[in-house]
Every structure is written in structure tokens, then in C-alpha cells.
């Protein structure tokens, strides 16, 4: 019921206003005081009570707030309340929502609507409640009710949208669309439609039912005038015609669009798709607002028809080219490339036309930074010889004059980029590559004066050259394994950032290079300067998150995970309110879009992984104390809810939202790094080119991510059950009979281990054989286990725990053989760590992921195994018996006690070995480390090898005439100091080492303590 004039919730407005003001200015104490005074006058008024609840919630007292809210609700529901207004309900709703009790808010509105039917405010409030709960059916029912009461078009459209949501995002049958169509048809016949978005909804309902003819009829009728921008109408018309397979008519429409929008590339592809009668292009393109995927499919036309259609397209495109007066209209020229490419794919015809068209395009647009992006999908179809010819042609067509212009510089950069894209750089010799990198840096330095008059915030001319030079240097490292090249790549980028500190691509490359050189703190520093926030957390975090996950920088990791998860959770909380905003503002297409987008983010694999890893991180941090670990596990409900993450439905609906285009070529996806493997001298590792390579890697990444999430989601539960299993072992020995719950745990553990092994690609028994084989020395580590060594170590640790409660004496039966798993576990851990250590060079001289794997081994399997030991010992030392003479000793006459003792000894040896290696690294002074790095870059009297590019750069700088630059650049050039870069790198490595060292130290202490307990 609407508030009476000057009244709010039955209370005079003047009494309520000060409370809201105090809340708005966050003066909660005075708000509470005012609220108490108000309640003394209106003790039973639901609005006054609701206000108090609101204040309590804001003060951070959720339990009290909930109790007061429930009191307000009871008052509302009591018989003597004569009216309920939306103000009271919406205030309660705010509090319930913040308390995560949407159901209670809905319940209040449902009650109010039942008591006061036909009240529009209340019904809108109820509709909003259902929007928040994603109850599409109830939304529809409420909207229909409102439509019946008020008869307004908007409520009908609310109902129609709710139906669409049922079909697109719920379990609704497609037949429901017929109902929506019927409702719209009836309303349109009697009242017509007045909102453009209403028309779009109507058309989309028809389109979803493949009633294209009906949709076209409506669009060309009176209602069509609702779409004011003619070209929007034409695009819609074209799409409907194409989906109805009336390709000729559709092509005509798209021609018209192109005449008024000659630069519309999507439209050109639509046009070509129609000429080639390529129905695939429109299949699945249901949502009006969503961008189409580029598809390159062959049509089924005869050669003759195909040729005539392509000629038609060519003639039309030439017309567009002739008319294009704007020198930045690229579409008609790129269209020629598309046509030539199609001809080649369809007719399998060779010839110079595509190459010539590319070369023409270069003459016109080669100086633009986007040239390579524009042509990358066309150059794929060229043969190797054609690629070489093309490069020659491009070089020849570069404009030349005595002084370089920005246009010439742009063209030169494009040629370098194309060479990189073609993989041509991979075929060059080491010497040629060094020359190329030197040349790139030289061109950059020589052309610095071109940027003299630019604002410091603007991109400088030629900055891409430094990225290109960095890439060449990385390749040199890949091929020669000489670390100096990586250092040089870092120098080049650091130098670039000294001149202009805003270049994001330099920072990303540096993050990856420093990560690869085990200088994660520096990598993270550069990453932080990108100021990644909000939605970029979802798309950009992959540049640093995977490295942090396997690092000892637990505080940084925790901050990163918390920030990211909070962003996602906040969005999920507010998303429905924004959906309702779309309803209110009558932008119905956004309603569907918002709901689908929220689902997409909810299914983000990175989000799921982050949630899992945040919990696992806690488990790692507390693993030195079984009591604290159990508290963490308790807060995770013993890991049970996380198991749901590995359900098939969940794993199959994962979304991948990372923007991998910004990643360097040598690590195209977060789980792939070419530099870890060897360079075979064959560019085939990169596919035919980098473009294809990225696509293949993305597919691989998705498959890996599913497996990884599956394994990680099992981990907390495996830890919990293992601890239980270990603690029940000795109890069983004492009590003779095992309890039912122990049996249940044991069988659950077994089934989880089966799943774990499955995600590593083996059956349970094969997995057991594998680890036993390696432990016994029958198989080598390099074989199957090597790739996922940490996962296998984890498997073995939990397997051991399972075997304790499953078989006496810690034996497991595989193929009739019995194996001792305590020994197996010790052996796997010891061998794996020793194997890593064996190949560890001094950190300052090494690159790659060995250190992270070592860190993982210590902070995961070794830590979990130590927990299991702690659990065994604790159960053997019950508090009541601790002081009794002889108690524990008696139990430790059991065979298992010996195994535990051996295990502690083995773990002690393992971790000592790691610590010893760490100490050696830490004991090397910073100066000594810097000297090592300097030596990698300096070779007396040598004209080749690492360092040459850097020398060339510094030499060029020293002879630069200052007057050619502006003050800023001159100052930056003067401040450049390569020695500082090396020193920072060393400091950063030292930090990683010392963090890892302190983790190891605490594990040693723990083992000593445990040893004393025996």
C-alpha cells in the first residue's frame, strides 16, 4: 500500500528521515539511538523494527539483525496489521538479502500479495524477489497477474522474458515459446506494441521457433518502424532471410548495409556467406546481440556457380573501394583478401592473387599497428614458398627515403611481425637471429626522436620493436639454453619501461620472464603495476596466478585469491538487481544477456580453481599442526561440499574466460611453456604458425583444466579421510573391532582414490602397480609418473593411509601380491625429491620450473604424509593414557610403529637434503650472484653470444644527441642502469629462497617433535 502523504510505513516521515540520514552517513550508533527512541513510540510497528534490523546488520551484527527481522516479519504476519506497505517490505528485503536469506524476503512479499491482491507495488516487489532467486516460472506467473490487473505492455514483456529464461537458462520446454508468442500476438492485435525492445523480444521468440517468415512479416509491417536506425533493421532483416535460407534476398539486404557502412566487416562476411549459401554461419546465432564466430566453411556450390558468385562479390567490392574516400576504411580491401582466400580454399587453386592482394593491402595499410592482426587469418593458407616471396615483396614495397617517417617505421615493424607470425625467425641461424635483434633495437633507438613531441602517456613510435627483440632473444635462449639471452630480453624491456613506464605488454612479458627465472616477487611487482581490477581479474590473472600457486609466497597468493573471489561473489550478489534494472528500463534483451553472463562467470574454471586453491592454501599453511588442520577441515565441512566441483555436470559446463591473446608465444596457455622443452629446430611445434598454435593449445588447456579441477576438488576430502583412517588404525588394533563409520570412510577413500587415479589416466589397480613399481625400482620415475609427479606423490600418500584401515599391517593386495605401502610412500617421496635435487643447478644459473615442483613436493605430499603420521601417533597417545607407564610403548611394539619410525627418518633425510641445497643458495652473497649474471652477459672480445644486443643498445644511447630528444626521454636515458636490474633480480630470488627455507625449517622442527613422541 502506498505510503500516505508524509507518512512512511505508518510513521510520520519527519521521524524516519534522520535515521536514514544517519545510516547513509554511516553513523550507525546515532542511528541506533534514534531507532530506539522511535521504537519506544511505535514498539510494534514493523517498519520501525525493520529499520532497527537494518542498522544492526550494518553494524556487523548479523545474528541480532536476523532476530529483529524475524520479529518484524511476525508483526507483519499478525492479524491486527491493517496494511502492509512496500517501504517496510523493501527495507526488510534489503536486510534479508544482506543476510543471504532471500527466501525470507520472498516469503514476506508472498504473504503481503496474498493479503492485498492487486496491489501493484507489492506485486512488483514480489516479481523482483523472484528475479533475485532466479525463479523464472514464478516470475512469469507474477508478471501475468500484473498484466491482467494493469494491462500494461511492459508486464506482458516481463512475462515473455521470464518464459524465454525458462527455455534458455532453465529446464523449460521449447513449447513454452508458443505460449509467449500467443500472448504477444493477442496483445499486439488489440493494443499494438510501443517499445522497440518489445519488438526485438517478439522477433527473437519467433526466431527461436524458426518462424523466420513470420518474423520478417512483422518487421516489414507497421511495427518495423519501431526500429529507428534503418541499418539496424536491415541487419536484422538480412539475418532472418539468411536463417530462412533465402540467401539471394539476404545478400541484397547486406549489400544495402555495406553501401551505407562500407567498413562493416561482419556484414561483409554475412554477405559473402549468403552468396556462398553457407547456412552454417547462421546456425546457433540465436541471440541478437551476440557477436558471431568467424567461420570459414566451404559451400556446396558447383565451381561454375561459385565463380560467378565470387565475381559478383568482387565487382561489388570494387565499387565500394572506388567510393571509399576515407583513407581508414579497411573492409573493402580486406574483403578482396577474403575473396581470394575462399577461392583458394574452394577451388584448391594456386596462383599469385592472394599474395598480390596481401601485398596491395600492405601498401595501403602496412604502416598501421593492426596490420598483422588484420591479415593473420589470410596468411595461414599460403605455402612456405609463397610466404618467403611475400616477405620479399613487402620489403621491396617499403617506402624509402633518407629520413625515416612514422609510416615507414610502421611498415618495417609490420614486416618483422609477419616474419614472426610465419615462423620464419625459427629458421634463422643463431648469428642471424642476433643480428635481427640488434637491428630491431637499433631501429628503435634511432627513431626515438620521432616521439619527441608526444605526450608521455601516448604510445611511442616503435615500441613494438622492443617486444619483437625480446621474443627473438627468448628464442635464442630456447635454442642455446644460454641464460644470458633471457637476461638480455629482460634488460630490453626494463629499458623500454624506463623510457615509458606505461607499456602494459612490456610488463606482461617481464612478469613471465622473471617467473621463468625464479624471480617471482619481481614478476608479481610488475604484474601489480598493471593495476588489474574488477572484470580484468577474470581475464588477466592467468599471467601470474599459476606461478603464485606453486610458490612459497603464501601471503601474496592469499591476497590475490581473496581479491578475485570477492570480486566474483560480489557480482553474483548484485547481478540479479541489475537484471531487474533491465526489466524496469525495458531493455529486455539485456535481461537474458545478464542471466546468461552470470551463469558463464559462475562456471568459470578459474573461479572454481581459485576457490579450491584458497582452501588448499589454508590446509598447506596449517599442515604443521594436526589440530589446526582439523579446524580448517571443519570449516570446510570435511571437504564434502568441494567434492561437488568434480561432478560431471560441473566439469562439462566450465567456462574459459582468460584473454590468452596477451600471452607471449612461448607460453600460449597457463599450463604450457615451450621453454621447458627443447627446441627441435623444427617450427612444427608451433603448428604452421602462431595463430593455429594458439588455438590448439587452448583446446589442450581446457582438457587439462577439467582434470586438474577434478583432482584438486578431491584433495581436502582425501586429507580429511586419510587423517581419520590413520587415527582409526591403532584404535582398531586396540579395540579389535572397527566401527561402521571407519568402514564407510575406508570405502569412500578408496572410491576417491579411484577417481583421482582416473583423472591421471589410470585405473586404480594400474595406478597402484605404477607407484609400487617405481618405489621398488622396477620402473623409473621418468616414465608415466614424471609429468604429474606431485599428483602421483599425493596419490601414494593417501593410498598408504587407505591401506592402513583396509588391510592389516599396511599391506595392499594387488594382483595377488602384497605390498608394503609405508615403504612405497617413503620411497616415492624420497626418490622424487632426490631426482629433482639431482638436476638442480645453482638457482642463479638456472631457469624453469624445478624449484616450484620442489616447493610443491614439500608443501603438499610431504606435508600430508606428515599429517597422517601425526594422526597415527596421536591415536596411539590418548590423553588419558599418556602418563600411564608403558602405554604407548606397548602400542609401538606393533609392526606399524616401525614403519612410522622409518617414515619419519626418511622424511627427515629428504627435507634435510632440500634445506642443504637451499642453504648453499642463500649463503652465496648478492654480489657473488650479480657477478655470475654479469659474466653471463660479458664475454671479453666476443662479437657474438648474449650481451651483444644490450651493448648495441647502450652504445647507441651513449652517442645519441640529447637535443634530438625531449627532456623526459633524455632523463630516462641518463637514469638507465643495467646493473640495478641484475641486482633486483638477485634480491627477488633470495626472497623466494628464504621463504621456502623457512617452510622447510618448520617442517624439520615438526619432524623432530614427532620423533620425540615415539
Q: Decide if residue 330 touches another protein (CB under 8 A).
A: yes
**C-beta closer to another protein: residue 374 or 420:** 374
Residue of 120, 150, 179, 369 interacting with another protein (CB under 8 A): 369
Q: Could you give the 3-state DSSP secondary structure of residue 774?
A: helix
Cβ neighbours, 10 Å, residue 87: 20
Which stretch, 80-88, 444-452, 567-575, 763-771, contacts another protein (CB under 8 A)?
Answer: 567-575
Nearest approach, Cβ of residue 342 and another protein (Å): 14
Cα gap 954→972, rounded to integer Å: 13
Cα gap 839→780, rounded to integer Å: 16
Cβ neighbours, 10 Å, residue 922: 16
Q: What grid cell was written down for 859?
A: 608443501
> Which residues does 716 contact at the CB level (< 8 Å), separation at least 6?
615, 616, 619, 633, 636, 638, 639, 642
Which stretch, 217-225, 452-460, 736-744, 884-892, contacts another protein (CB under 8 A)?
Answer: 452-460
Residue of 94, 424, 581, 1004 interacting with another protein (CB under 8 A): 581
> For residues 273-292, which are near another protein according to CB under 8 A?
289-292
**C-beta closer to another protein: residue 156 or 258:** 258
Residue of 24, 304, 455, 923 interacting with another protein (CB under 8 A): 455
**C-beta closer to another protein: residue 568 or 719:** 568
> Which residues does 1012 contact at the CB level (< 8 Å), separation at least 6?
none
Q: Decide if residue 574 touches another protein (CB under 8 A).
A: yes
**C-beta closer to another protein: residue 163 or 257:** 257
Which stretch, 4-12, 145-153, 571-579, 770-778, contacts another protein (CB under 8 A)?
Answer: 571-579
**C-beta closer to another protein: residue 145 or 663:** 663
Cα gap 373→537, rounded to integer Å: 25
The total number of residues written for the chain in this structure:
1014
Site size for another protein (CB under 8 A):
64
* CA 183 distance to own-chain centroid: 41
Q: Decide if residue 450 touches another protein (CB under 8 A).
A: no
Any idea which residue has 624506463 for its cell?
498
Q: Decide if residue 20 touches another protein (CB under 8 A).
A: no
Nearest approach, Cβ of residue 229 and another protein (Å): 7
What are the phi and psi torsion angles at 139 (to 5°)?
-55, -50
Which stretch, 211-219, 307-315, 384-392, 654-662, contacts another protein (CB under 8 A)?
Answer: 654-662
Which stretch, 60-68, 97-105, 455-463, 797-805, contacts another protein (CB under 8 A)?
Answer: 455-463
Mask of contacts with another protein, 941-960, x by CB under 8 A?
--------------------
Cα gap 344→51, rounded to integer Å: 72
> For residues 294-323, which are near another protein according to CB under 8 A?
294
Q: What grid cell was written down for 322?
A: 572506388
**C-beta closer to another protein: residue 589 or 704:** 589
**C-beta closer to another protein: residue 294 or 786:** 294
Cα gap 580→592, rounded to integer Å: 11
Q: Decide if residue 169 touches another protein (CB under 8 A).
A: no
* CA 982 distance to own-chain centroid: 32
Which stretch, 348-356, 372-380, 397-405, 510-518, contacts another protein (CB under 8 A)?
Answer: 372-380
Nearest approach, Cβ of residue 625 and another protein (Å): 39
How far CA 716 is from CA of 642, 747, 754, 788, 857, in Å, comes to 8, 16, 16, 19, 16
How far CA 214 is from CA of 204, 208, 674, in Å, comes to 11, 12, 54
Any idea which residue has 653470444 for its cell?
945
Residue of 99, 150, 424, 578 interacting with another protein (CB under 8 A): 578
Which stretch, 74-82, 241-249, 658-666, 746-754, contacts another protein (CB under 8 A)?
Answer: 658-666
What DSSP designation does 812 have? E
Q: Provide the sign of the torsion angle of the four alpha carbons 298, 303, 305, 307, taken in this order.
A: positive
Q: Decide if residue 265 touches another protein (CB under 8 A).
A: yes
Bridge partner residues of 604 (DSSP): 655
Cα gap 355→656, rounded to integer Å: 35
Residue of 97, 142, 582, 897 interacting with another protein (CB under 8 A): 582
> For residues 182-221, which are near another protein according to CB under 8 A?
none
Q: Decide if residue 420 touches another protein (CB under 8 A).
A: no
Which stretch, 237-245, 264-272, 437-445, 732-740, contacts another protein (CB under 8 A)?
Answer: 264-272
Q: Decide if residue 377 touches another protein (CB under 8 A).
A: yes
Contact 509, 470 (CB under 8 A): yes
Nearest approach, Cβ of residue 327 and another protein (Å): 9
Contact 319, 343 (CB under 8 A): no
How far CA 581 is from CA of 98, 292, 584, 588, 590, in Å, comes to 19, 27, 5, 10, 10
Nearest approach, Cβ of residue 594 and another protein (Å): 7
* CA 28 distance to own-chain centroid: 39
Mask of contacts with another protein, 474-503, x by CB under 8 A?
----------------------------x-
Q: Decide if residue 662 touches another protein (CB under 8 A).
A: yes
Nearest approach, Cβ of residue 371 and another protein (Å): 9
Nearest approach, Cβ of residue 286 and another protein (Å): 13
**C-beta closer to another protein: residue 75 or 542:** 542
**C-beta closer to another protein: residue 5 or 328:** 328
**C-beta closer to another protein: residue 528 or 991:** 528
Q: Decide if residue 228 touches another protein (CB under 8 A).
A: yes
> Which residues does 751 contact at the CB level (< 8 Å), separation at least 6?
none
Residue of 347, 349, 370, 699 interacting with another protein (CB under 8 A): 370
Reported as half-sphere exposure (CB side, CA atoms, 13 A), residue 357 has a value of 23
**C-beta closer to another protein: residue 539 or 704:** 539
Mask of contacts with another protein, 583-622, x by CB under 8 A?
--x-x-xx--xx-xx--x----------------------
Nearest approach, Cβ of residue 228 and another protein (Å): 5
| DSSP annotation string for 268-335 | HHHHHHHHTT-GGGGTT---TTSPPPP--------HHHHHHHHHHHHHHHHHHHHH--STT--HHHHH
Residue of 118, 395, 459, 751 interacting with another protein (CB under 8 A): 459
Mask of contacts with another protein, 529-558, x by CB under 8 A?
-xx-xxxx-xxx------------------
Q: Decide if residue 661 touches another protein (CB under 8 A).
A: yes
Residue of 50, 168, 331, 709 interacting with another protein (CB under 8 A): 331
Nearest to 926 by CA among 980, 987, 846: 987
- E strand or H helix at 11: strand 11-12
* CA 411 distance to own-chain centroid: 35
Cα gap 82→592, rounded to integer Å: 39
Bridge partner residues of 598 (DSSP): none
> For residues 498-527, which are near another protein according to CB under 8 A?
502, 504-505, 508
What angle do helix axes 789-806 and 740-759 make, rounded to 10 degrees?
160
Cβ neighbours, 10 Å, residue 991: 16
Any idea which residue has 574452394 for its cell?
346
Binding site for another protein (CB under 8 A): 228-229, 263-268, 289-294, 326, 328, 330-331, 334, 368-370, 373-374, 376-377, 455, 457-459, 502, 504-505, 508, 530-531, 533-536, 538-540, 570-571, 574-575, 578-579, 581-582, 585, 587, 589-590, 593-594, 596-597, 600, 657, 659, 661-662
Amino acid at each position: 500500500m502506498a505510503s500516505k502523504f508524509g507518512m512512511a510505513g505508518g510513521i510520520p516521515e519527519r521521524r524516519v528521515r534522520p535515521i536514514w540520514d544517519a545510516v547513509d552517513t554511516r553513523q550507525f550508533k546515532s542511528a541506533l539511538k534514534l531507532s530506539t527512541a522511535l521504537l519506544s513510540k511505535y514498539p510494534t510497528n514493523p517498519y520501525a523494527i525493520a529499520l532497527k534490523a537494518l542498522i544492526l546488520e550494518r553494524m556487523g551484527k548479523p545474528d541480532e539483525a536476523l532476530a529483529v527481522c524475524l520479529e518484524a516479519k511476525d508483526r507483519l504476519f499478525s492479524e491486527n496489521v491493517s496494511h502492509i506497505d512496500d517501504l517496510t517490505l523493501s527495507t526488510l528485503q534489503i536486510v534479508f538479502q544482506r543476510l543471504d536469506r532471500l527466501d525470507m524476503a520472498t516469503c514476506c512479499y508472498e504473504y503481503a500479495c496474498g493479503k492485498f491482491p492487486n496491489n501493484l507495488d507489492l506485486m512488483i516487489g514480489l516479481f523482483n524477489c523472484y528475479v533475485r532467486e532466479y525463479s523464472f516460472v514464478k516470475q512469469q506467473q507474477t508478471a501475468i497477474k500484473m498484466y491482467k490487473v494493469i494491462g500494461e505492455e511492459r508486464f506482458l514483456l516481463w512475462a515473455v522474458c521470464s518464459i524465454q529464461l525458462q527455455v534458455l537458462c532453465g529446464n523449460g520446454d521449447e513449447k513454452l515459446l508458443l505460449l509467449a508468442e500467443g500472448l504477444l500476438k493477442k496483445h499486439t492485435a488489440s493494443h499494438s506494441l510501443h517499445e522497440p525492445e518489445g519488438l526485438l523480444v517478439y522477433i527473437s521468440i519467433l526466431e527461436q521457433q524458426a518462424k523466420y517468415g513470420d518474423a520478417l512479416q512483422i518487421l516489414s509491417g507497421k511495427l518495423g518502424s519501431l526500429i529507428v536506425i534503418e541499418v539496424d533493421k536491415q541487419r536484422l532483416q538480412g539475418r532472418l532471410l539468411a536463417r530462412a535460407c533465402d540467401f539471394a534476398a539476404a545478400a541484397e539486404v547486406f549489400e544495402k548495409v555495406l553501401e551505407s557502412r562500407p567498413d562493416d566487416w561482419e556484414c561483409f562476411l554475412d554477405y559473402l556467406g549468403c552468396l556462398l549459401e553457407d547456412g552454417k554461419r547462421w546456425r546457433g546465432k540465436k541471440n541478437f546481440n551476440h557477436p558471431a564466430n568467424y567461420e570459414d566453411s566451404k559451400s556446396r556450390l558447383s565451381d561454375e556457380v561459385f565463380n560467378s558468385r565470387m565475381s559478383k562479390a568482387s565487382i561489388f567490392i570494387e565499387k565500394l573501394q572506388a567510393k571509399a574516400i576515407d583513407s581508414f576504411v579497411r573492409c573493402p580491401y580486406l574483403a578482396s583478401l577474403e575473396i581470394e582466400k575462399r577461392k583458394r580454399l574452394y577451388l584448391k587453386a594456386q596462383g599469385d592473387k592472394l599474395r598480390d592482394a596481401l601485398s596491395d593491402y600492405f601498401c595501403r595499410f602496412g604502416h598501421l599497428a593492426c596490420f598483422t592482426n588484420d591479415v593473420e587469418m589470410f596468411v595461414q593458407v599460403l605455402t612456405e614458398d609463397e610466404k618467403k616471396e611475400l616477405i620479399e615483396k613487402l620489403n621491396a614495397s617499403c617506402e624509402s627515403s633518407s629520413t625515416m617517417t612514422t609510416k615507414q617505421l610502421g611498415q618495417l615493424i609490420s614486416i618483422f611481425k609477419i616474419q614472426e607470425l610465419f615462423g620464419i625467425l625459427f629458421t634463422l641461424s643463431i648469428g642471424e637471429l642476433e643480428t635481427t635483434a640488434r637491428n630491431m633495437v637499433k631501429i628503435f633507438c634511432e627513431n626515438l626522436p620521432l616521439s619527441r613531441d608526444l605526450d608521455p602517456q601516448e604510445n611511442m613510435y616503435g615500441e613494438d620493436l622492443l617486444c619483437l627483440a625480446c621474443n627473438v632473444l627468448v628464442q635464442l635462449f630456447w635454442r642455446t639454453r644460454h641464460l644470458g639471452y633471457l637476461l638480455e630480453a629482460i634488460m630490453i624491456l626494463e629499458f623500454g619501461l624506463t623510457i615509458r613506464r606505461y607499456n602494459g605488454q612490456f610488463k606482461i612479458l617481464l612478469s613471465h620472464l622473471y617467473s621463468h627465472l625464479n624471480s617471482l616477487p619481481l614478476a608479481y611487482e610488475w604484474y601489480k603495476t598493471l593495476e588489474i581490477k574488477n572484470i580484468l581479474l577474470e581475464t588477466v590473472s592467468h599471467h601470474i596466478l599459476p606461478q603464485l600457486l606453486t610458490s612459497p609466497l603464501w601471503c601474496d597468493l592469499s591476497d590475490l585469491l581473496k581479491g578475485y573471489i570477492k570480486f566474483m561473489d560480489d557480482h553474483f550478489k548484485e547481478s540479479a538487481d541489475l537484471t531487474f534494472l533491465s526489466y524496469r528500463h525495458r531493455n529486455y534483451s539485456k535481461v537474458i544477456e545478464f542471466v546468461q553472463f552470470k551463469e558463464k562467470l559462475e562456471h568459470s574454471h578459474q573461479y572454481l580453481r581459485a576457490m579450491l586453491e584458497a582452501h588448499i592454501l589454508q590446509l598447506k599453511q596449517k599442515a604443521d599442526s594436526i589440530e589446526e588442520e582439523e579446524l580448517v577441515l571443519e570449516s570446510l565441512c570435511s571437504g564434502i561440499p568441494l567434492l561437488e566441483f568434480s561432478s560431471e555436470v560441473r566439469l562439462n559446463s566450465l567456462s574459459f574466460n582468460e584473454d590468452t591473446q596477451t600471452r607471449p608465444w612461448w607460453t600460449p596457455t597457463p599450463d604450457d611453456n615451450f621453454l621447458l622443452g627443447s627446441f627441435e629446430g623444427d617450427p612444427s611445434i608451433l603448428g604452421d604458425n602462431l595463430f593455429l598454435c594458439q588455438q590448439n593449445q587452448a583446446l589442450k588447456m581446457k582438457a587439462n583444466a577439467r582434470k586438474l579441477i577434478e583432482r584438486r576438488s578431491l584433495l581436502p576430502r582425501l586429507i580429511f579421510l586419510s587423517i581419520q583412517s590413520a587415527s582409526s588404525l591403532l584404535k582398531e588394533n586396540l579395540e579389535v573391532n572397527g566401527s561402521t563409520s571407519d568402514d564407510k570412510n575406508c570405502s569412500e577413500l578408496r572410491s576417491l582414490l579411484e577417481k583421482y587415479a582416473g583423472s591421471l589416466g589410470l585405473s586404480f589397480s594400474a595406478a597402484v602397480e605404477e607407484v609400487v613399481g617405481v618405489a621398488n625400482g622396477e620402473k623409473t620415475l621418468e616414465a608415466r609418473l614424471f609429468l604429474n609427479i606431485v599428483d602421483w606423490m599425493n596419490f601414494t600418500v593417501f593410498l598408504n593411509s587407505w591401506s592402513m584401515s583396509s588391510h592389516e599391517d599396511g599391506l595392499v593386495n594387488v594382483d595377488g601380491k602384497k605390498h608394503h605401502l609405508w615403504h612405497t610412500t617413503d620411497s616415492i617421496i624420497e626418490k622424487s625429491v632426490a631426482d629433482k635435487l639431482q638436476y638442480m643447478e645453482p638457482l642463479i644459473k638456472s631457469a624453469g620450473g624445478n624449484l616450484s615442483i620442489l616447493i610443491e613436493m614439500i608443501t603438499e605430499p610431504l606435508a600430508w604424509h606428515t599429517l597422517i603420521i601425526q594422526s597415527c601417533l596421536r591415536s596411539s597417545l590418548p590423553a588419558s593414557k599418556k602418563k600411564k607407564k608403558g602405554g604407548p610403548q606397548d602400542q609401538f611394539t606393533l609392526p606399524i610403529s616401525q614403519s612410522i619410525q622409518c617414515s619419519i627418518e626418511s622424511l627427515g633425510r629428504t627435507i634435510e637434503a632440500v634445506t642443504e641445497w637451499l642453504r648453499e643458495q642463500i649463503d652465496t652473497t648478492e654480489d657473488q650472484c650479480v657477478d655470475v649474471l654479469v659474466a653471463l652477459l660479458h664475454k671479453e672480445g666476443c662479437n657474438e653470444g648474449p650481451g651483444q644486443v644490450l651493448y648495441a643498445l647502450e652504445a647507441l644511447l651513449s652517442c645519441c644527441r640529447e637535443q634530438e630528444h625531449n627532456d623526459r626521454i633524455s632523463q630516462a636515458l641518463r637514469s638507465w642502469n643495467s646493473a640495478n636490474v641484475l641486482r633486483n633480480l638477485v634480491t627477488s630470488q633470495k626472497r623466494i629462497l628464504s621463504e621456502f627455507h623457512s617452510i622447510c625449517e618448520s617442517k624439520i622442527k615438526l619432524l623432530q617433535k614427532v620423533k620425540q613422541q615415539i
